[in-house]
Amino acid sequence: MSERVNLDKNFSDPVGGAKVSEAKAEAALPALGPMGMLRWAWTQLTSMRTALFLLLLLAVAAVPGSLFPQRPANPSVVTQYIKDNPDYGKLLDTLQLYDVYSSAWFSAIYLLLFISLIGCVVPRAIAHYKAMRSQPPRTPKRLSRLPEYGTLVIPSDAGIPASDAISSAAGVLKERGYRVEVRDSGGERPSLGAERGFAKEVGNLVFHTSLIGVLVSVAIGGLFGYSGQRILVEGDTFVNTLVGYDQFTPGTNFQSGQLQPYSVQLDKFDITFDRESEGKVGQPIDFSAAVTTKENPDAPAQKEILKVNDPVTLGGTSIYLTGNGYAPVVTIRDGEGNIAMQGPVVAKLQGDNYYSSVVIKVPDAKPEQLGFAGFFLPTAFVSNEGISFSGDPELFNPQLTLNSYYGDLGLDDGSPQNVFELDVQDLTPLNARNLDAGGITLAPGSSYTLPDGKGTISFDGVKRYIGVDIHHNPGQLYALIFALLAVAGLILSLYVNRRRVWVRTGTHADGRTMVEYGLLARGEDHRLAAEAAAVRKLLSEEWKLDPEPGPDGPSQQTPSSARDNNAGPAATAGAATTPAGPTGPEKDQ
């Protein structure tokens, strides 16, 4: 009551209130300071919660890379996208959404995740190393309070004193994989502490370390790797130089000296089409490219087979088969009678049965440059409306249908053009359906004379071509290894449990050795009860005891009524010597 009166007096007394205010004003809170701020920031960055958040943020940041065209993959598509969307196209470019994976903000997230994982793993690895070298915790005074607890009684005629019992229990637990420490082996109540399951934390550390390894491997691939595409017609040879690629995407730190001068020659390409399955006749079912490879100009030639999902590997570079088609062989003479162009022309697939578009540009023709655009049909048919179409992917009735033009192709000003497109706005048509000369229709071995003395075109034959993707990723193998290690570490951390076992022995007045044991798991462990039963069984077999209570004799396990706050070797001994035997069913949790 006096404290309450004084308290009320202080609140009502303006003088006392002033003193409290002055005391609060004089109390100075410790300043965090620059070093304190850095420690706080480092603690936040290296927390597991931050690492998980950054990992999720990295996945979200990669989404724009699949929503918008990327400049490293196809610059022309990005340019056209900006032209088609003038309102927000340039804004997206300012935000680096066309270069997501090399943007400043994506790189910042990547580096922060990398630093966060290192900051998480290193301290945990040090702490785990110390824990593995330390001894198991001391034996609790009351083992009965542990989640799993039990007792055993060794008869006096067995001749096993408490010290020998604790030594044999230590041997049993060691064989089961526990790290054991015996305490007071010569005392009246010797005990031991045992621990196992360190592999759980090892698996956890392996998982997080492997994630760092995957990040480093991906970074190495992005910095020093490269990829490219090339179309090879039968008989053509690809040499691994910059000018040999149709399209080339280098890594950030790529140097042309990294290119190993291997070569690949396409000897023959075969396709097997389905001719038996109903509703699937004409569909390709197998692709096989016979190639000749050389590791370097002085190396012997090797015959290899390139198939889908079965790449050819040369100098750490994988060559994948990704496409195929037909390449009509044509010869074009200009108005002066000179051969202006001769060779296969790649036809781009457009529809079923290898219906393909053809574009031919002849900038060397005289006196006017020539251009052709049309279609190639492996097996040509004409509908009732007079429209040509391909009825089969095989070369049963190949046909080349073209329109011709003359004028300036726009190649001399250095502007890049798509080889599969012909801009006819500034060209004058020579042949077309709507002109008197009509279109050009050629079969293998036939030729056609262009109007106005512009020259001739002949259809000499058909070859096959393949499209290949060439990838060199020096970090690919390491990324795979670290990914497998991450899975192994995750499985280890999920299925291995950290457990501790304590065993204490004592000698009863009548000569019996009283044994009590307890088990404790670190975290939730649904298999701890089974482990307790296994430990009890092994100890019983070691001392030749019945692990279950006999029908007439006293229970060798503590009855449920004996599991109270006073449980221990003495209490157990008292319960075991009660004339009436156990007071309830045995209980081994």
User: Angle at CA 64, nearest 5°, toward 59 and 66?
Assistant: 90
How high does pLDDT run on average in the chain?
84
Domain count, the chain: 4
What's the pLDDT score for residue 437?
A: 85
What's the pLDDT score for residue 585?
A: 34
Identify whether residues 526 and 455 lie together within a single domain: no
Q: Give a yes or no: residue 30 inside a domain.
A: no
Query: Which comes out higher in pLDDT, residue 538 or 6?
Result: 538
Does residue 333 surpass a pLDDT of 60? yes
Confidence of residue 37 (pLDDT cuts 50, 70, 90): confident
Place of tokens 């007045």: 509
Place of tokens 């092994």: 538
Place of tokens 């004193």: 161
Identify whether residues 571 and 450 lie together within a single domain: no
User: What is the percentage of the chain residues whose pLDDT exceeds 70?
Assistant: 87
User: Which two structure tokens, joined as six digits, stand for 81?
Assistant: 């996208």
Q: Give a yes or no: residue 589 inside a domain.
A: no
Identify whether residues 192 and 235 lie together within a single domain: no
What's the pLDDT score for residue 534?
A: 94
Q: Rounded to a whole number, what is the distance in angstroms from the first to the last CA of the chain?
A: 51
Q: How far apart are CA 158 and CA 163, in angstroms?
A: 14
Residue 340 is classified by DSSP as E
Prior bond of 367 cis (ω within 30°)? yes
Q: How far apart are CA 102 and CA 195, in angstroms?
A: 48
Does residue 110 surpass a pLDDT of 90? no
User: Which two structure tokens, joined as six digits, stand for 302?
Assistant: 């090797």
Q: How far apart are CA 78 and CA 194, in angstroms?
A: 65
Q: For the chain, what's the residue count?
A: 589
Identify whether residues 342 and 449 lie together within a single domain: yes
Q: How far apart are CA 47 and CA 55, in angstroms?
A: 13
Identify whether residues 438 and 305 lie together within a single domain: yes
Averaged pLDDT for residues 355-384:
92
Distance (Å) of CA 280 to CA 277, 284, 340? 5, 9, 42
Identify whether residues 446 and 536 lie together within a single domain: no
Place of tokens 């997080």: 208
Identify whether residues 373 and 414 lie together within a single domain: yes
Identify whether residues 358 and 250 lie together within a single domain: yes
Confidence of residue 21 (pLDDT cuts 50, 70, 90): low
| Distance, C-alpha 253 to centroid of its chain | 23
Q: How far apart are CA 228 and CA 469, in angstroms?
A: 6
Averaged pLDDT for residues 486-491:
94
> Can you give the C-alpha Rg of the chain in angstroms?
41
Does residue 588 surpass a pLDDT of 90? no
What's the pLDDT score for residue 583?
A: 32
Q: How many CB atoms lie within 10 A of CB 3?
A: 7
Identify whether residues 529 and 418 lie together within a single domain: no
Identify whether residues 295 and 399 lie together within a single domain: yes
The type of residue at 535 is V
User: Which two structure tokens, joined as six digits, stand for 567?
Assistant: 């449980």
Helix (H) or strand (E) holding 476: helix 476-495
Window from 108-117, 450-459, 545-554 with minimum mean pLDDT: 545-554
What's the pLDDT score for residue 185?
A: 60
Q: Give a yes or no: residue 463 inside a domain.
A: yes
Q: Give a yes or no: residue 153 inside a domain.
A: yes
Q: Give a yes or no: residue 586 inside a domain.
A: no
User: Angle at CA 312, nearest 5°, toward 229 and 285?
Assistant: 85
Query: Which comes out higher in pLDDT, residue 257 or 458?
Result: 458
Q: Domain containing 571 — which CATH number?
A: 3.30.160.110
Identify whether residues 190 and 218 lie together within a single domain: no
Last residue of some domain: 444, 460, 492?
A: 492
Window from 57-61, 203-207, 348-352, 573-577 with minimum mean pLDDT: 573-577
Confidence of residue 548 (pLDDT cuts 50, 70, 90): low
Q: Model confidence over 132-174: pLDDT tens digits? A: 888 888 899 999 999 999 999 999 888 888 889 999 999 999 9
Does residue 290 surpass a pLDDT of 50? yes
| 67 exposure class (CB count in 10 Å sphere: 0-12, 13-18, 19+) | exposed
What's the pLDDT score for residue 23?
A: 59
Please report the beta strands in 240-369, taking only residues with DSSP state E, as ranges in sequence order: 247-250, 263-273, 284-294, 302-306, 312-314, 317-333, 339-344, 348-349, 356-362
Last residue of some domain: 59, 84, 117?
A: 117
Averaged pLDDT for residues 118-127:
88
Q: Give a yes or no: residue 185 inside a domain.
A: yes
Alpha-helical runs (H) found in 187-293: 198-224
Last residue of some domain: 90, 117, 144?
A: 117
Confidence of residue 547 (pLDDT cuts 50, 70, 90): low
Q: How far apart are CA 399 and CA 444, in angstroms?
A: 7
Print the SS3 string covering 74-119: CHHHHHHHHHHCCCCHHHHHHCCCCCHHHCHHHHHHHHHHHHHHHH
Backbone angle region of 132, left / alpha / beta, with phi > 0 → left and psi within -120 to 50 → alpha: alpha
Q: Give a yes or no: residue 148 inside a domain.
A: yes
Backbone angles phi, psi at 36, to 5 degrees: -65, -40
Q: Give a yes or no: residue 22 inside a domain.
A: no
Contact 430, 451 (CB under 8 A): yes
Confidence of residue 587 (pLDDT cuts 50, 70, 90): very low
What's the pLDDT score for residue 20?
A: 59
Domain around 524: 135-197+497-576
User: Which two structure tokens, joined as six digits, stand for 288?
Assistant: 């096989």
Averaged pLDDT for residues 485-496:
92
What is the dihedral sign for C-alpha 409, 410, 414, 415?
negative
| 26 exposure class (CB count in 10 Å sphere: 0-12, 13-18, 19+) | exposed
Burial profile 129-142: b = 16 or more Cβ within 10 angstroms, e = fewer: eeeeeeebeebbee
Q: Model confidence over 48-66: pLDDT tens digits? A: 789 889 989 999 998 988 8
Quick one: how many helices (H) and strands (E) in the chain?
Answer: 13, 24
Distance (Å) of CA 268 to CA 106, 229, 284, 310? 44, 19, 17, 17
Identify whether residues 340 and 390 lie together within a single domain: yes
Cα dihedral 112, 117, 119, 125, rounded to 10, equals: -170
What's the pLDDT score for residue 46?
A: 85
